[in-house]
Copies of this chain bind each other. A is one copy, B any other.
Amino acid sequence: MSSANSKRLRIGVIGAGRIGRVHAEALRFRVPEADVRAISDVRLDAATDASQTFGIPKACEDYHELLNDREIDAVIICSPTDTHARIIGEAAKAGKHIFTEKPIDLELSKIDAALAAVASAGVKFQVGFNRRFDPNFKALADQVRAGKIGKPHLVRITSRDPSPPPVSYIQVSGGLFLDMAIHDFDMARYVGGEEVEEVYATGNCLVDPAIGKAGDIDTAVIVLKYRSGAICTIDNSRQAVYGYDQRLEVFGSQGCLLASNNAPTRTELWTAKSLEAPKPLHFFLERYMDSYVAEMREFVRCVQTGAEPSCTGDDGRKAVVLGLAAGRSLKEGRPVKISEMGGKA
């Protein structure tokens, strides 16, 4: 870490749930250039607990206090998805720089309105596709861009959760394509380096019938066609019993890049029974902690230097478009062109 800055970026965190705490802690202890001034939550006790745990001076219930605070330069939006678009609009009008968790919203019209507010306010805006900042995936994307494997032909994303979320969450999350695969849609664009033109999705409920009753699937294969003719496959499961399975492969005209899972140690145990290696890191916060810190550092750096964040509002919107297209493909049993999805995409 570099020197603590006398002109640190003054930050307010909106939402003190799990991901809000992650960002607050990262900003507080791992990003010396940040000065976390306040945290808000509709549950005041949650905000207070976070403020005490991480040594944040102020806790409050109403995020408007943060928006109205002249001593706050930027906000980190970690509230529930259905509040993102509204808060983005308000924060932009208040002249705050904005980092928001994904997805921006589940409706394109609301996304468009939020992004228009950002554009008109001229504030910095970054969307929380943290996996772009994961060392494994970033190394792959950097090497693709550096031409190490020539032109990409096939991209393969393995994205399997260790266990399903509660059905109550699935009922409001937008389902597998929008709460889980949305990261993979962004990854497909990020690592592929070009836009997707067509989506084919298929899937089933093989893990837990309760998920099916809630109208969702728990096992999916998604095929994306890029403009160049390259093809991406994503495979998702809500339950990989061996842990969080997050792998990536990009095959191109001159080679192949592969990222395997992270594990807690690089050790092996050889016995008369078998040769054993540690299972992948199980919890997404362990697996992706470095990426959360890195995205916060990029956001702070961009605001301080005037640079554009690398993960933009348009990136946030496009991932939602792909998720909606996947949903339509599954429903209609056919490939769906992105041009069918309307709007600006």
Contacts and interface: CB of A to CB of B under 8 A. Distances in A.
A168 interface: no
Contacts of A206: 151, 153, 228-230, 253
Interface string A252-263: 011111111110
Contacts of A237: 153-154, 251
Interface in A226-278: 228-231, 233, 235, 237, 239-242, 245, 251, 253-262, 264-272, 274-278
Given A200-B200, A275-B276, A335-B333, A258 B267 contact: yes
A225 interface: yes
A233 B235 contact: yes
A257 B240 CA distance: 12
Given A148-B271, A205-B229, A255-B270, 9 more contacts: A149-B269, A151-B206, A153-B237, A156-B156, A235-B251, A242-B255, A258-B267, A274-B276, A276-B276
18 contacts: A4-B53, A29-B29, A136-B267, A143-B267, A153-B219, A160-B251, A223-B223, A241-B271, A241-B272, A242-B256, A254-B271, A254-B272, A256-B271, A259-B267, A275-B276, A275-B279, A276-B276, A276-B277
